[in-house]
Amino acid sequence: MNIIIRKAVQRDCERMMELIQELAVYEKATEQVAVDFNHFVESGFGKNPVWWSYVAELTHENNSKEIVGFALYYIRYSTWKGQKMYLEDIIVTEQYRDKGIGTMLFHELIHLSKEMKFKGINWQVLDWNDPAINFYKKFSSVRFDSEWINCSIDNI
């Protein structure tokens, strides 16, 4: 399987949106996806980017390329630690799971965090998402903390 991990570019956005939809189906929250495509592109590749991403690109035998997963992050500022990576989404499309692609993406995030001198990586997992929890447990340095409640105001 010929997979490379590379930084996302603007033309990847359409496929990334498809994968975001796929993740929402899996997380039982399709009605929650209300992001505007143009705003998504502008937020990643406009004047003041607020997200960055790596994609996993598969080259098929006929040389066509397909994005089969991505990891998208933004910069969190922790008043206890300083700048950290906040991993918003990591997803591999269903057909290509359990082939080490998520691990490749994750290693790239760790590598970049070192390079950027981030003080760590944060993310969240749904408490019933055992496949994801088991995936994260493979990385010995991952800590899990159930002591926090998420709060939100959605209708601003």
Stretch that binds a copy of itself, among 3-11, 57-65, 92-100, 137-145 (CB under 8 A): 137-145
| Terminal Cα-to-Cα distance of the chain (whole angstroms) | 46
Binding mask 90-109 for a copy of itself (x = CB under 8 A): --------------------
79: DSSP letter: T
Using the minimum distance from each CB to a copy of itself, give the nearer residue, 1 or 82: 82
How far is the C-alpha of 68 from the C-alpha of 93, rounded, in Å? Answer: 5
136 noted as active-site residue? yes
User: Minimum distance between the CB of residue 70 and a copy of itself, rounded to whole angstroms?
Assistant: 10
122 binds a copy of itself (CB under 8 A): yes
Contacts of 23 by beta carbon, 8 Å cutoff, 6+ apart = 89, 91
